[in-house]
Structure 1
Amino acid sequence: MNIRQLKHFLAVIDLGSLAAAAEMVHLSQPALSRSLRALEDALRVPLFDRQDRRLRPTPYALAYVERARRMVFDENEGARSLALMRDGELGSLAFGMGSSIAKFLLAPLMLEMLARAPGLRMSAMVQSTDVLHAALLKEQLDFFIGDVRIAQHDPDMVTEALYPCTFGWFARAGHPLAASGDIAMARLSAYPLISAGYADETVERRIADLYGLTMPISQHFALSTSDLSTVHALLASSDAVTPSTAIAVIDPLKAGVVVPLDVTPPLDLDLTLGIIHRAGRTLAPASSRAFEFIRASFANADAEISRLDGRRAAPGLAPTRGKRATRPRR
């Protein structure tokens, strides 16, 4: 038994197809089959039932799969640690973040890393937290920035909570509802509603309960998109309204293009953004620099949103009705 055979085994488990697994590990299907049979011989148990040209994992395979993942992870981690020691600031860094923060964070982070570690090779994934979490488990990412709740009880993950989000409903400055108070959903829904980014079922049900909406929540929105540039453009040039974190619309808020609406009840949701990475994984030296920049970026965004909240609380200006959670101790 060797690590190569374990990688072949995991490829078949993850992809559910001999053909797809063979393509991923760059082997012919007969060669992959021989590798799997050699592993079965070494373990002295059948790992797959071969039926109708498909490989179905046996109970032995399902019991063994997490141990196999751990052995492959440890092998990769050993090689990675040596490579990082050898390369210093060279090497690679793969990270991810949600679309709600990529708009204000991704480009500045990459520029910072290019300036401080020009030999670094970077890749970035912009996706929902569940997709980023799955990619981290498969070692496709070194870390990601997302909702820390997805991993805070997982002993194999390290989470650093950075930013409990403020929520609200937003529209363009000069919107017919901008000067109104205590706006009910009946008035709000007279305008096109935009669903921006990914929302899990818990969030959708909370919104439905708050505003008396039926599930699925998507039926009440004229548009759903995770592209924040499109959301910002639509808000600025139409009477569309969107529920959002304040940080996702921080640039048009600062520019005065977008304003919060005084909706009743307030959009009371729970979302804390932070850094998530695997426990026991040796991070590239550049990761610590990236973490410093991410922490500072969230602190600056928090200060800016607090300043905007204070400005809106001045006489004659509508207050923010979204939830502002208690900030974590740093």
Structure 2
Amino acid sequence: MNTRQLRHLLAVIETGSVSAAADRVHLSQPALSRSLRALEDELRAPLFDRLDRRLVPTPFAQAYLARARRIVFEEAEGARELSLMHSGRAGSLALGMGSALARGLLGRLLVELMAGAPGLRLRTLIETTDRLLDALRNETLDFFVGDVRAADTDSDLQVEPLYTCRFGWFARQGHPLEGRRALTIADVLRHSLIAPGFIGPEDERRFLRRYGLTGSMLDRFTLQCADGGTVSQVMLATDAVMPAIELTMLEELRAGSVIALDVQPVLDAELVLGIVQRAGRTLAPAAARAFDFVRQYLVGLEAEAASAGGAAR
């Protein structure tokens, strides 16, 4: 038995004749009759009585009618679901990114994915890179957007680098250090420092070497906070200074509420943003839509940063 035979059964029941049903399903009358006999043989039950040149459903056909309709409906819905998935408008997708990137990208990406896609189910995770990696390896994430350097030596992961971030020092507009050239680390350390999120051991060592400092870098920070909105609020209300990647302050730079300070030497830390996913894993087609959007966003960051003044190189 197959759904094609069930469609033939439904056509005869709904039209009341073999000729009309044959026209509906685009078969000859003999071919349709053969299909019905094969279905009767498989079900081991007579499905129609011939009365006055009409086919009248038997009690067996009436009993099976609701199930036949449900099977045909479910097949059609299954095909529709796969079609929607192929178009990126259905399925499920779990994605992650760090808080600094999420501030400008995540909402826009979700709006793009949800537009015209009521069957798509999305789940997000905002975390540090090490935790995003754990979630990806544990298959609770399909992909994340973040620092690809953390995964570029893992053969189980596939990385696509897209944007090399510039680092700089940032403060509010009207800060006492605004407009001064060639600031030293001593000038900066006279003010409170903000660390916008997790700082790894290698980044800490690079920072200390760059500025000839000793001891613990983290002990020099008044505030460590991964929430971009909170960091911005504190910066705009205090004389705190923050070393960070430019995209962390991109919106404020564009609005002119935050400035990039000319601190020498410039920060030489590296951060390469891109897409990280499990190698060889098939994702819902909606992931392709997400990847295209992320690529366009990250590629455009360079131009956005330049138009906003960028960070001091």
Query: Per-residue displacement from partner, 1:22-64 (whole Å, max 9, x unpaired)?
Result: xxxxxxxxxxxxxxxxxxxxxxxxxxxxxxxxxxxxxxxxxxx
SS at match of 1:171: strand
C-alpha distance in 2, partners of 1:279/1:169? 36
SS at match of 1:276: strand
- What is the correspondence of 1:8-27 to structure 2 with a 5 Å cutoff? none
Deviation at 1:308, TM superposition (A): 2.9
Q: Is 1:266 aligned to residue 266 of structure 2?
A: yes
Deviation at 1:86, TM superposition (A): 7.6
Give the aligned partner of residue 234 of structure 1: 234
Deviation at 1:91, TM superposition (A): 2.1
Query: Per-residue displacement from partner, 1:105-153 (whole Å, max 9, x unpaired)?
Result: 0111111111042211111101111110110000000000111111112
Select 2:312's aligned residue among 313, 318, 321.
321
- What is the correspondence of 1:254-293 to structure 2 with a 5 Å cutoff? 254-293=254-293
Give the aligned partner of residue 325 of structure 1: none
SS at match of 1:263: coil
Query: Per-residue displacement from partner, 1:266-300 (whole Å, max 9, x unpaired)?
Result: 01111100000011111111000000111111122
Aligned length: 231
Give the aligned partner of residue 149 of structure 1: 149
Q: Which has the larger radius of gyration?
A: 2
Give the aligned partner of residue 299 of structure 1: 299
SS at match of 1:91: strand
C-alpha distance in 1, partners of 2:184/2:239? 16
Give the aligned partner of residue 98 of structure 1: 98
Question: Which residues of structure 2 form unaligned runs of 5+?
Answer: 1-78
CA contact (8 A) 2:225 2:231 kept: yes
Q: Is 1:214 aligned to residue 205 of structure 2?
A: no
Q: Is 1:126 aligned to residue 117 of structure 2?
A: no
- What is the correspondence of 1:73-88 to structure 2 with a 5 Å cutoff? 85=82, 88=85
CA contact (8 A) 1:267 1:321 kept: no
Query: Per-residue displacement from partner, 1:73-122 (whole Å, max 9, x unpaired)?
Result: xxxxxxxxx9x848623221100001110100011111111104221111
Identity of aligned residues (%): 43
Give the aligned partner of residue 188 of structure 2: 188
Query: Per-residue displacement from partner, 1:143-168 (whole Å, max 9, x unpaired)?
Result: 00111111112221111001100100
C-alpha distance in 1, partners of 2:117/2:144? 19
CA contact (8 A) 2:91 2:286 kept: no
Give the aligned partner of residue 176 of structure 1: 176
C-alpha distance in 1, partners of 2:94/2:131? 14
Give the aligned partner of residue 8 of structure 2: none
Question: Which residues of structure 1 form unaligned runs of 5+?
Answer: 1-81, 313-319, 323-330
Q: Provide the TM-score with structure 1 as the length reference.
A: 0.67
CA contact (8 A) 2:92 2:122 kept: yes
Aligned-residue CA RMSD (Å): 1.7
C-alpha distance in 1, partners of 2:120/2:155? 30
Give the aligned partner of residue 112 of structure 1: 112
